[in-house]
Each structure stands twice: as structure tokens, then as C-alpha cells.
A and B are shown apart, each in its own frame.
Chain A
């Protein structure tokens, strides 16, 4: 009985102690959750603290407080500042949450400092990074951030004539005779398929062509078969392919099998499927200045340019890397974090495993887009 009382006493004391510690020294996430504003934040007594405070305010989307703390707020409006962070048009940024950040002091003096901040934004399609070099200046006894505003380009008012091309499909009706034909599914063909042993698993790389004259919604499923004919595993190319293919369009695909060794695999059963889909031939996306950057972090970078008049909210980029014989050696993807405005370049990057960078002979980039009113 006495030991029970002692235990409850210990728990009570520990609880009180933790509450006191949490109140006096709150973590940044606790402050954000509490929504207590800047009251609990430390005063910006150093460049790092000033940047941290600003990032916390951005994380809470407290635009008023963040804008108010800037040293150069007279150079732009609060709305322009907000658009710089989350985009003026709906895009990946609009629905992203700040997952974390890193600070790297670059330079410091008594009156000014430079701090590099790497903002890690979490989205439904993965993480994207926003790296900014911030100048921090001393104002009185406090430090304030000079925000390097990237202004969202403004498309001048104009009329862009676009001849929209669209396919409509009349399907078989429920009252039709059993002999009445239905519209044929699009004919698609896997033009290349190559299994590789990679990272403790098997990766299938390939390309699929819509050889029909109608748009197709395609999926590629693969089953690895053992020597005795039994199925080892079945996977499909979920986001590592472009699912809507216009006539004669080619998409790469990558299918990852975890924890399977290539030596266990006797054959692969590929199952491409296609169905007719209402689609639009627009918008047209130009992929400009594609360039391969080497080690230590090899990637393919470039710019997406929307050649149509329609705003593209989300653009998905798929890159196929080939060796010198034309064999695909990797497929990777990436997203543009900002909306694509007409004729306005937006940078993108797709990564490549470091050990493959020396084998790349050529590459091919395709982009698929999502507009709030239409999917292509």
C-alpha cells in the first residue's frame, strides 16, 4: 500500500516538473501548436534567432507577423511576400506544410549577417526544398531579416488563341444487343523493358507507347516469376509513369520490387492495360535547357515552359536515363513546385543515383500536367 502511494507521489512530481519545463522552455512545434504567436518566442537577439522566428511564423502561416518582422517590408506588400512562399496560383506550394528547416550561417559582422536557410516542405508527392540566402541586419538591439523576394511573374493581359483538341467517346449503351460492339480500347505497346538489381530489390525500367489514334489511360503491372513458375511479387508503376498518353506518345515507367533478388527471378510477366479516356491535347509544355549535372549529387535540371494559355497547377516531370547503347538505366521523377504560367519558365530537377551518373549516355524528359479544371 505504501509503495503504491510512493509511486503516485513520484508520478505527480514528475508530471508537475514536466509541465513547468514545457512552459518555461517550449519547443517550436509546441509554440506553433499552441498558436501563441510571438509572445513565447525568443526576441531576435541574434541573426539565427531572427531567421528561426521568421521561419516559425511562416510555418504557422502567420503572414502578418512574418511580414511585420522583415527589415525590407517597404519594398513589397504582404500579399507579394505570401505569394513568394505559397505561390499566387494553386500549386504544390499552396498545399505544402513546413516539415523542417536547416540554418547555415554564412557570414556575420556586428551590423549584418548572412544565413542560408533550407526550408523542407512536405507535400502529398514528397518533399521539396526551398533554399534562400537571407541577409539579416541589426536594427537597434534586434536583428531583422531582409527577405529576398522572388516576385511571381505577372502575365500581361492578352488573348492567346488555342485550338483545343478533344476526344469524346460514345460507349455501348445498357440497352444494346449483346452483339453490339463497344469502342475498342487503345492499343498500347511496351517498347522497352529492362530489369535491374538495385538496392536490395529488383527495378523494372521500360517505356510504353500509345500506338493508337486515340488518347489512352495506361497502367503497367508486372509480376516476377520464379523458376518453378510461381509468382514472387506483383507491383505496378504508380507515380513513376505518365498515365495519360496521347496518340504516339511514349512514357517511361519504373516498377520497384522490394526485397527481391534478380537471381531469384526467372521471367517477368508484363501486364499493360489501357482504356479510352476523354483527354485534351493541351497544354503543351516545352522542357528547356535540360542539362545533366554530375557528382556529388547528379541530377537532370531544366525549365518547364507552358506554351499554352492555360495555367498549369502541377507539373510532373519524368526522366529516362539511357546508357550509351540506348538501354534505359534509370527513371526518376520530380515536380515543379510552382504553377506554370504561360511562357514563364519554372525550374525542375530529377535526381539520378550517383553510381549511375558515369554510365549516362543520353536522356529523355516528358512532362504531364494537372490543371484544376482538366487532367492530362
Chain B
């Protein structure tokens, strides 16, 4: 809605300038480049009253000015980066100038870290993309160095630097061999943004269980489950125990608790008991009384 009204106003300004009865355009002395939000002044020549119109991206300004006096633009008045046109409509002539407003130094970073959760030891599995913005949310197009750091539990991790291209810098990093919550940080000067990347254990490497009698039941317990890098498989992972005996089957899905899965099944002599989790098969036990 705001953009639409700005656009309509800009059209109106152009129409006003074009329809001026004695429209004679002449160049206006104006700085070619200025930083977003900064204050500056422009000298004018001639005498009498005039109206200054400044038309830019998402912004139109109107100032009544006295010719001969300096035009003062306050800090923060021109805050959108982009290409602007100024019209100074005087009693006998119209002066124009074109200038650029550029972004300030980066003051905020928009940092996209993907994914937020991934298995350990994955080459190029983590991507970090940083967009540098100034205080007025202008994308900083000036090439700027962004440093990325992925660290686990306070230890020194992977560091990379990338220079922004058209305001964006990106890196790809490997997930660590050790599971845990990694801090993924992007920094430009004093500006830092932090994300958490959960590095989780991969598929269990080996699955082994042991069995012992407990009354009329057989108590089954797995060894602590670990992936091939030695990371403990997280609690809650489902382990399936299957007992086959004489044409019947008993099964139970047990979640890991404290790293092991524990359950009991009927103690049938001659029964074969196997264990699996996901697509990983474990050992098999033939139960004898």
C-alpha cells in the first residue's frame, strides 16, 4: 500500500515538473553519492522560493526552499539505498540532479544455517548463507568479508571466510565426527549472528544383545548402541526384539533408555530371538532352558 502511494506520488511529481509553465530544466549541483541516513547540504543559486522534490526507491520528499540558501537534508531523511532524482522547481526554471544513496556499514546479518539437524561426519552437509544489512535494512552491496565459524562445545571448530557478492556470502562446512549441538556463527565486524546445528549420531554400527532367565521370562538387553564414530545413539530410538518359537512369534518395540534397550519375552526353550533397529539387524540368540 505504501509502495503504491509512493509510486502515485512520484508520478504526480513528474507530472508537476513536466507541466510547469516555464519548465526549463538545468542541472542541479548535487553530490553524486551519499550514504543512507547521512545528513548533507546542497547550495542553490538564484532568488525567490522554490520546491525541492526528491524521488527515490520507496520514498518521495518535498521541501520548500529559498533559493540562495543551502538546502539541508537531515540525518535519516534519505534512508533507502538506491538511485534518486531531485527536482528543484523554481519560479523560472527547474533544476534536476540524479544521485545514488548507498548502504551504510553492515549493522545486522540475516543468517540462514541449514539444516538445523544432520548426522555426524557428513562432508559439505552444512550450508551457511549470510546477508549483510545496514541499520536501515538496506542490503550492503559493497563486497564485505564475512567470517563463519562452526564450533562444538566451545572447542575450536571449522573457520571459513567469504566475501559477499551482491550482498550475500555463503559457505559449506562438514559436520563434525562427534555428535552434539554445534554453534554456527557468522560475523562481520562487531556484528554476530548465531545458530545451533544439531549434529546427531548416524545409523547404529553394531547391535548386540544378551539374554538371561528371569522366572518364566527371558530378560533381553542390548549393549549400549553407538554409531561407527562411537557416538551414543539417542534415547528413544526404537529397538525391535523378535522371538520365534514353533510357529508363533512375539515382538516388542522398545525405546532406548540410557543408551540400552531392555525388555523381557516368554522363555520358550528352542526359541530364536533376534534384534533390529531401523534397517540394522543385530545378533540372534537361540534360547535353551
Binding site for B on A (CB under 8 A): 163, 165, 167, 177-184, 191, 209, 211-215, 246-250, 281-282, 284-292, 302, 307, 363-366
Contact = CB atoms under 8 A, between A and B. Distances in A.
A182 B116 contact: yes
B251 A246 contact: no
B125 to A, nearest CB: 12
Interface stretch (B10-18, B144-152, B252-260): B252-260
Interface in B209-241: 234-239
Contact of B113 (A167, A181, A250, A366): A181
> From DSSP, what is the main secondary structure of chain B's interface residues?
strand
B201 A213 contact: yes
Interface string B27-65: 000000000000000000000000000000000000000
A363 B249 CA distance: 9
Top-4 shortest CB links A-B = A179-B110, A281-B255, A248-B278, A286-B252
Contact of B250 (A180, A184, A289): A289
Nearest to B179: A213
Given A163-B258, A248-B238, A291-B247, A366 B116 contact: no
Chain B residues touching A, range: 35 or more
Contacts of A281: 235-236, 255, 257
B88 interface: no
27 contacts: A163-B257, A163-B258, A177-B108, A212-B117, A213-B117, A213-B200, A213-B234, A247-B237, A248-B237, A248-B278, A249-B238, A281-B235, A281-B255, A281-B257, A282-B255, A284-B252, A284-B253, A284-B254, A286-B265, A287-B250, A289-B248, A289-B250, A290-B251, A307-B264, A363-B249, A365-B249, A366-B253
> From DSSP, what is the main secondary structure of chain A's interface residues?
loop
Contacts of A211: 278
A285 B235 CA distance: 18
A270 B165 CA distance: 39
Interface of B: 108-117, 131, 193, 195, 200-201, 234-239, 247-255, 257-258, 263-266, 277-279
Nearest to A215: B236
Contacts of B117: 183-184, 212-214
Contacts of B111: 179
Contacts of B258: 163
Contact of B279 (A191, A247, A286, A366): A191
A195 B112 CA distance: 40
Contacts of A287: 250-252
A184 B278 contact: no
A178 B129 CA distance: 13
A178 B109 CA distance: 11
Given A209-B278, A248-B239, A282-B255, 19 more contacts: A178-B110, A183-B117, A184-B115, A184-B116, A212-B200, A213-B117, A213-B200, A213-B236, A247-B237, A248-B238, A281-B236, A281-B257, A285-B252, A285-B253, A286-B252, A289-B248, A290-B250, A302-B250, A366-B253
A163 B249 CA distance: 27
A246 B238 contact: yes
B277 A248 contact: yes
A246 B248 contact: no
Given A209-B278, A215-B236, A307 B110 contact: no
